[in-house]
Amino acid sequence: MSDHADNADKRIYGAIAAGLAAARRAPMLQPDCRCHFCEEAVAPGILFCNSDCRDDFQRLMNSRVRAGTF
């Protein structure tokens, strides 16, 4: 029983480590006066035009990390 739990832990920690490595490889977002998701003009220093775009962008990045395409 404990062997199964240990193996599950190893898989989970492996997935977390892979996710962290992918996140570290991802370039930091730089504000460029455009929403990073829909490219609408935004104020200087702002990354997204609204929280929906920020959330959608985050979801997109997360799915890319999970798919290993990022």
- Quote the tokens at residue 35: 């929403």
Neighbouring-strand partners of residue 41: 34
Query: Residues, the chain, total?
Result: 70
Among 22, 34, 38, 47, binds Zn ion (CB under 5 A): 38
36 lies in the binding site for Zn ion (CB under 5 A): no
35 lies in the binding site for Zn ion (CB under 5 A): yes
- Given the complex with Zn ion, which of 53 and 65 has the nearer CB atom? 53
Q: How far is the CB of 34 from Zn ion (least distance, A)?
A: 9
- Given the complex with Zn ion, which of 56 and 70 has the nearer CB atom? 56
First to last CA, the chain: 36
Rounded to 5 degrees, what are φ and ψ at 10?
-60, -40
